[in-house]
Chain A
Amino acid sequence: GAVVSQHPSRVICKSGTSVKIECRSLDFQATTMFWYRQFPKQSLMLMATSNEGSKATYEQGVEKDKFLINHASLTLSTLTVTSAHPEDSSFYICSASWGGPYQETQYFGPGTRLLVL
């Protein structure tokens, strides 16, 4: 149980275009979803936290107008990288938890590798 999927698994786009990444919880309702970014051989950096039906909370230094997050349902969150540039090339990973009194465990998706040319 607790499976999280991401789509696409990898995407190559031209500079200036927008890219949408989907994160789905397949067998549970995800009250909260998280988006992380990981550069090569580095750690995961939390970008934002989203709760279903409300606006995402962005970490310091993450541009909310560039990384649009939508969590419209309990099983789907999307991250849109707007006007992507080569420096946005990275590995984007989402995770989900089902909330509750205090949900400690996050379930991670397989990641999406973005390459901006």
Chain B
Amino acid sequence: SQQGEEDPQALSIQEGENATMNCSYKTSINNLQWYRQNSGRGLVHLILIRSNEREKHSGRLRVTLDTSKKSSSLLITASRAADTASYFCATDGTNSGYSTLTFGKGTMLLVSP
């Protein structure tokens, strides 16, 4: 069953503006990851936040995690046209020797010059 649910489904902004995407999930997790996918391409890992972390930064990316609300947000600051892509959250909830990711439906971000 689908674990993560992102909103909005689509987001259109101007270059320089900030973009915020949200992800909600249903079961307990070990970590939550955000990925980016350009049209028709594979996924690029952006950032991982563990269940005991609340906020994490990487360059222009800021991720928050609220395990009590079972939600996460991805903020892209000072967006660029090159940030145009689909963004997915993925939850990792297994305790076995390898991660098993469950992906959300994604947010399509369009950044206009």
> Given A43-B105, A44-B88, A102-B97, is A93 in contact with B42 using a C-beta cutoff of 8 Å?
yes
Question: Which of A4, A95, A111 contacts B40 (CB under 8 A)?
Answer: A111
Instruction: Give chain B nearest CB distance to A99 CB in angstroms.
Output: 6
> Given A104-B31, A104-B48, A107-B45, is A91 in contact with B100 using a C-beta cutoff of 8 Å?
no
CA distance in complex: A45, B100 (Å) = 11
- Judged by a CB distance under 8 angstroms, whether A46 is at the interface is yes
- Judged by a CB distance under 8 angstroms, whether B25 is at the interface is no
B100 CB contacts on chain A under 8 angstroms:
34, 46, 49
Instruction: Give chain B nearest CB distance to A50 CB in angstroms.
Output: 11
Instruction: Give chain B nearest CB distance to A73 CB in angstroms.
Output: 17
- Judged by a CB distance under 8 angstroms, whether A42 is at the interface is yes
A43 CB contacts on chain B under 8 angstroms:
2, 88, 103-106
A54 CB contacts on chain B under 8 angstroms:
none
A101 CB contacts on chain B under 8 angstroms:
97
The range of chain B's interface size is 20 to 34
- Judged by a CB distance under 8 angstroms, whether B44 is at the interface is yes
Interface residues of A (CB under 8 A from B): 4, 6, 31-32, 34, 36, 41-46, 49, 51, 91, 93, 95, 97, 99, 101-111, 113
Q: Would you give 13 A-B contacts (Cβ < 8 Å), ordered by A?
A: A32-B98, A34-B100, A34-B101, A36-B103, A43-B2, A43-B88, A44-B88, A51-B98, A91-B40, A93-B43, A104-B33, A105-B45, A110-B41
Knowing that A43-B103, A104-B30 are A-B contacts, what are 17 other residue pairs whose CB atoms are under 8 Å apart, sorted by A's residue number? Answer: A4-B42, A43-B106, A91-B40, A93-B42, A97-B99, A99-B97, A103-B98, A104-B48, A105-B33, A106-B45, A106-B99, A108-B43, A108-B44, A108-B45, A109-B42, A110-B42, A113-B40
